[in-house]
């Protein structure tokens, strides 16, 4: 597979690095000479220092032989024009454009083919979805959802008073009378794909597979009972905060993010109180007009007098979603010292997720990961439904559906030649969730969730697609 990427920023280089690990051929186009030079020194791929919205530079990158073209520059207009140009000239090349700030409707851009572009990805909308799901589940941990199943994956940091400390995974499972599996452990910045004999230690971050009801039991055992989130404060009045506000207020969305289950859930219960804190006065006026039900506060969280005001009084959940990831973490930590129960922070880099959890941030949303994971779902071979990154991007949780002609259809798990340090953590067969054993047979139509090292993705693709 040959992939041309336009834009060597953080997302473009992260995506290129991952695709190279998967043994895919990659060409990277970057207009900035310093970024292009840096990419050429760090990545084992063709790097073109040129504009990417003209046929000459695209031809240099080999667009005529490409399978996929991805445009992730900082300019929405450039991404749309470049993808539109490729679509017009090379009909067989699949095109993917990242679009962040342009005020196009979801119906025209994302749902349908716009300018002949195959896929338009809006990272702000994707991040807002993750935030919304986390709120609807109590904002107690990161949450990874899958299709056609009631099972989900969440993380739990093992505190010194945890009931899990010193127990083997085999022992823990014996005491759980519901679907339960620890799929991975992050310990001292190293990941472990555990066995039944693996012992849980203080400070471990464990990734658990269970149902919503199962997690309620787990959180109760860990004294992390669900608290009411009646007063929510959003710090930063950008696009992500606006999308989340639409959901919380159950308001007709300008973004066409849509009225999802969070809005319906909130509508059934008592109304939530929402405050948005934004430092730009003109933006505050826009937000006040758009969200008359919300309290819009003109304030800068970095100013000394912010600490003297009562902006966070009675706040149950703070969501820090400014463009500064360090500020988001610091503000969330500070809010918890003031008595705010839950803190959720937006970060740009995946490496900040571990830092955030070590600093008592309850939920972390990584903007770069939302983009890269969305693109990988499209690029990967096989009927891929979801991709989630763990352990700073070293591990992946991949959900795929078994097609009729898949080489693994009809085989027992024990007979599969899975990559080393990989594990099928659960599957869904005709609506039934199964924590599999070695003799479990994978059948056509099943939804399978696998955890593996990112370096093993190419082998996984070959295994499921042939």
Q: Calculate the CA 142 to chain-centre distance.
A: 10
What is the DSSP secondary structure assignment for residue 6, as one 8-state letter? E
Query: What pLDDT score was predicted for residue 251?
Result: 60
189 with 110, same domain: the answer is no
Q: How many CB atoms lie within 10 A of CB 303?
A: 11
Instruction: Let me know whether 186 and 233 are in one domain.
Output: no
Of 337, 367, 397, at which residue does a domain stop?
Answer: 367
List the CATH number of the domain containing 390: 3.30.70.1450
| Cβ neighbours of residue 113 closer than 8 Å, sequence gap 6 or more | none
Q: Can you give the C-alpha Rg of the chain in angstroms?
A: 23
Looking at the structure, tell me whether residues 8 and 116 fall in a common domain.
Answer: yes
Q: Which of 165, 193, 221 is the last residue of a domain?
A: 221
pLDDT means over runs of 10, the chain (466 residues): 95 92 93 95 95 91 96 92 93 92 53 75 89 89 85 91 92 86 89 91 92 90 84 94 89 51 46 89 96 94 79 92 95 92 92 82 91 88 82 82 91 90 89 89 92 87 83
- Encoded tokens for 340: 């705010």
* Cα dihedral 346, 352, 354, 356 sign: negative
> What is the C-alpha to C-alpha distance for residues 333 and 410, in angstroms, rounded to an integer?
50
Whether 149 contacts 428, CB under 8 Å: yes
Q: Examine the domain organization and report whether 195 and 292 are in the same domain.
A: no
Closest CA to 13 of 51, 40, 53: 40
pLDDT at position 84 is 92
Range of 313's domain?
127-135+228-367
The enclosing H or E element of 261 equals helix 261-268
- Tell me the C-alpha distance between 80 and 90, whole Å: 15
Of 196, 221, 246, which residue is a domain's last?
221
pLDDT at position 114: 66
The pLDDT score that the predictor gives to residue 103 is 58
> If residue 465 lies in a helix (H) or strand (E), which one and from where to where?
helix 457-465
Nearest by Cα to 378 from 8, 124, 119:
119
pLDDT given for residue 150 in this prediction:
85
Whole-number Å distance between alpha carbons of 219 and 225: 6
355 and 431 in a single domain? The answer is: no
Task: With CA atoms as reference, report the closest residue to 168 among 209, 140, 199, 202.
Answer: 199
Nearest CA-CA partner of 20 in 47, 56, 51: 47
Residue 321: CA count within 13 A, CB half-sphere: 28
φ, ψ for residue 324, nearest 5 deg: -110, 105
| Shared-domain flag, residues 356 and 242 | yes
What pLDDT is attached to residue 61?
A: 95
Q: If we measure between CA atoms, which residue out of 50, 117, 121 comes closest to residue 88? A: 117
> Do 190 and 285 have their domain in common?
no
Can you say whether the dihedral through the CA atoms of 189, 190, 191, 197 is positive or negative?
negative
State whether 238 and 363 are in the same domain: yes
Listed residue (143, 211, 179) closest to 436, CA to CA:
179
pLDDT score for 266: 44
For residues 165 and 247, membership in a common domain is answered with no
Q: Give the separation between CA 139 and CA 143, rounded to whole angstroms.
A: 9
Token pair 């922070």 is found at 345
Q: Which helix (H) or strand (E) holds 239?
A: helix 239-248
**Integer angstrom CA distances of residue 251 from 137, 262, 318, 398:** 20, 12, 20, 33
What CATH number has the domain bearing residue 241?
A: 3.40.50.720
Structure tokens at 188: 């001292």
DSSP string, 347-373: ESSTHHHHHHHHTT-SEEEEHHHHHHH
pLDDT at 463: 86
In this structure, the number of other CB atoms found within 10 A of the CB of residue 64 comes to: 13
Domains of the chain: total: 4
Pair (213, 271) in one structural domain: no
457-463 contacts, C-beta under 8 A, 24 or more apart: 457/21, 457/22, 457/380, 457/396, 457/398, 458/22, 458/23, 458/24, 459/419, 460/382, 460/398, 460/419, 460/422, 461/22, 461/380, 461/381, 461/382, 463/407, 463/408, 463/416, 463/417, 463/418, 463/419
In this prediction the pTM is 0.85
Same domain assignment for residues 238 and 352: yes
Shared domain for 339 and 429, answered yes or no, is no
pLDDT at 265: 45
In the sheet with 295-298, reading across from the earlier edge strand, the strands are 295-298, 273-278, 231-235, 317-320, 342-347, 363-366
């Amino acid at each position: 597979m040959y992939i041309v990427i336009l834009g060597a920023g953080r997302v473009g280089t992260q995506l290129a690095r991952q695709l190279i690990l998967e043994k895919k051929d990659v060409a990277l186009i970057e207009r900035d000479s310093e970024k292009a030079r840096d990419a050429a020194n760090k990545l084992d791929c063709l790097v073109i220092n040129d504009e990417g919205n003209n046929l000459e530079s695209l031809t240099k990158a080999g667009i005529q032989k490409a399978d996929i073209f991805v445009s992730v520059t900082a300019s929405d207009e450039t991404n749309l024009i470049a993808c539109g140009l490729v679509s017009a000239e090379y009909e067989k090349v699949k095109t993917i454009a990242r679009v962040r700030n342009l005020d196009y409707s979801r119906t025209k851009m994302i749902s349908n083919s716009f300018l002949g572009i195959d896929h338009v990805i809006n990272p702000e909308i994707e991040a807002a979805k993750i935030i919304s799901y986390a709120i609807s589940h109590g904002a107690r941990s990161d949450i990874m959802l899958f299709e056609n199943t009631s099972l989900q994956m969440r993380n739990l940091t093992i505190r010194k008073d945890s009931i899990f400390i010193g127990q083997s995974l085999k022992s823990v499972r014996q005491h759980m009378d519901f679907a339960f599996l620890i799929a991975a452990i992050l310990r001292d910045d190293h990941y472990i794909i555990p066995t039944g004999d693996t012992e849980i230690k203080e400070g471990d971050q464990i990734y658990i597979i269970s149902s919503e009801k199962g997690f309620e039991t787990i959180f109760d055992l860990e004294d992390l009972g669900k608290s009411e989130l009646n007063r929510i404060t959003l710090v930063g009045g950008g696009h992500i905060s606006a999308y989340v506000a639409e959901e919380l207020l159950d308001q007709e969305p300008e973004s066409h993010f849509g009225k999802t289950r969070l809005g319906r859930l909130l509508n059934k219960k008592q109304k939530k109180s929402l405050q948005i804190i934004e430092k730009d006065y003109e933006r505050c006026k826009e937000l006040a007009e758009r969200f008359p039900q919300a309290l819009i506060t003109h304030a800068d969280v970095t100013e000394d007098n912010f600490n003297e005001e009562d902006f966070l009084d009675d706040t149950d959940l703070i969501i820090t979603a400014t463009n500064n990831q360090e500020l988001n973490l610091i503000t969330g930590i500070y809010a918890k010292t003031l008595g705010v129960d839950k803190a959720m922070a937006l970060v740009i880099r995946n490496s900040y997720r571990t830092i955030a959890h070590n600093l008592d941030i309850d939920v972390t949303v990584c903007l770069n990961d939302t983009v890269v994971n969305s693109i990988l779902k499209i690029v990967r071979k096989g009927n891929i439904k979801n991709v989630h990154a763990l352990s700073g991007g070293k591990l992946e949780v991949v959900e795929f559906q078994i097609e009729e002609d898949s080489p693994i259809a009809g085989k027992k798990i024990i007979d599969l030649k899975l990559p080393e340090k990989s594990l099928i953590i659960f599957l869904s067969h005709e609506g039934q969730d199964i924590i599999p054993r070695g003799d479990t047979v994978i059948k056509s139509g099943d939804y399978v969730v696998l955890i593996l090292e990112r370096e093993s993705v190419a082998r996984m693709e070959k295994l499921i697609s042939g």
